[in-house]
Amino acid sequence: MTFARVSALVAALVVLPGLSGAQTLLGRSDSVFTWRGPLRAGALLTVRNHNGPIDVRPATGAQVELRAEKRARYGNLSDVAFNVGTNADGNVTICSTFRGNDPCDQDRNGRSRNDDDGWRRSVTVVMTVLVPRGAQVRVSTGNGAVTVERVGGEVSASTGNGRVTVRNTDGAVRVTTGNGDVEVREVAGAVRVTTGNGRVSVSTARGPVEARSGNGDVDVRMTTVQASEDMTFSTGSGDVRVTLPADYNGDLDASTGNGSISSDFDLTVEGRLSPRRVRAAIGRGGARLRLATGNGKLEVRKVQ
């Protein structure tokens, strides 16, 4: 799967599916809200939380199951309700709302209207979602950890602040967090990861992968790589280690402001050799492999 296709998928997911019927908010009087409903094979599940963690796990059947627990530091639990809907295509959308501020209802820039950040953070909603394996999943929260495990389909996960973990899926994965570590394990599709501050760890059976951190180590391992795909791995401060199949061919562009560069592969160096910048062909050459760090070491390793 190409990054172009992944980008097209994510762009399509940005527009929330239209909900059937008039909006009805549920669970306002509940401290723990539960909901169950069908999700057709291959359909899209969108979950948005105004504040709090989201944990997505596999369901045993063909239904989505939600458990949402409200926790208040101050304010009222009744300020939080839930907008749940299914559109004509069978896609399901679940959003926690706060005082009429509904993340399901966003402007074109992805910002919720009537946003009152301070009061929103007074009530946390802990969401656990069970989803049929093979569904497409898109989850986001304003603040909190996000975990998606064994869903099978394509995954888009984001948080304004918190750790993101995605494990065991066959589809493409896209992860963003403003601040937090990212772990992506046992996946078989293209991966894109961005964190403003945190460590990135990715292990995938099939690339391509792109990983960027504002500040933190980047460690990526790929068993196979599509030869035509460019890949970039960068951090503002930290080490970058990329492990590739032994038969990998590509054009390496590695640069560090203050650190070392090493490779398990034989390199055919282009231009002048520098301890801080290396441009070289790996094998027959090919797609660009870019590694960059402002302060740290760069390593290109072979799968053992």
Distance of CA 265 to the CA centre of its chain: 30
Count of domains forming the chain: 2
Are residues 272 and 136 part of one domain? no
DSSP 8-state symbol, 105 = S
Q: Is residue 209 part of a domain?
A: no
Residue 195 within any structural domain of the chain: no
pTM of the model: 0.86
Residues 9 and 136 in one domain: yes
Final residue of a domain: which of 141, 175, 200?
141
Cα distances from 65 to residues 18, 36, 46, 128, 159, in angstroms, run 20, 5, 13, 8, 21
CB-based contacts of 15, cutoff 8 Å, min separation 6:
none
Asked, for residue 256, whether it belongs to a domain, the answer is yes
Residues 108, 239 share a domain: no
Residue 302 resides in a domain? yes
Provide the CA 261 distance to its chain's centre, in angstroms: 28
Residue 187 and residue 207 in contact, taking contact as beta carbons nearer than 8 Å:
no
User: Token digits for 175?
Assistant: 């992860």
**Other Cβ atoms closer than 10 A to 24:** 11
Report if residue 69 sits inside a domain: yes
Q: What is the pLDDT of residues 167-225, one digit of tens each?
A: 999 999 999 999 999 999 999 989 999 999 999 999 999 889 999 999 999 999 999 98
Q: Is residue 178 part of a domain?
A: no
CA–CA distance, 59 with 166 (Å, rounded to integer): 16
Quick one: 234 and 111 in the same domain? no
57-101: per-residue pLDDT in tens?
999 999 999 999 999 887 789 999 999 999 999 999 999 998 877
CA distance 67 to 79: 17
- Residue 125, domain member (yes or no): yes
Residue 78, amino acid: S
Query: Last residue of some domain: 141, 161, 190?
Result: 141
User: Are 7 and 122 in the same domain?
Assistant: yes
Per-residue pLDDT for 19 more than 80? no
Rg of the chain over all Cα atoms, to the nearest angstrom: 21
3, 125: one domain: yes
Q: What is the pLDDT of residues 121-140, one digit of tens each?
A: 688 999 999 999 889 999 99
Question: Is the domain of 245 the same as that of 111?
Answer: no
- Same domain for 255 and 119: no
Q: Residues 11, 128: one domain?
A: yes
Mean pLDDT for the chain overall: 87
Instruction: Judge if 129 and 3 occupy the same domain.
Output: yes
Q: Which of 94, 126, 141 is the last residue of a domain?
A: 141
Range of the domain at 101: 1-141
Contacts of 200 (CB under 8 A, 6+ apart): 181, 182, 193, 211, 212, 213, 216, 217, 218, 219, 220, 235
Residues 17 and 116 in one domain: yes
Same domain? 130 vs 251: no
Q: Does 72 map to a domain?
A: yes
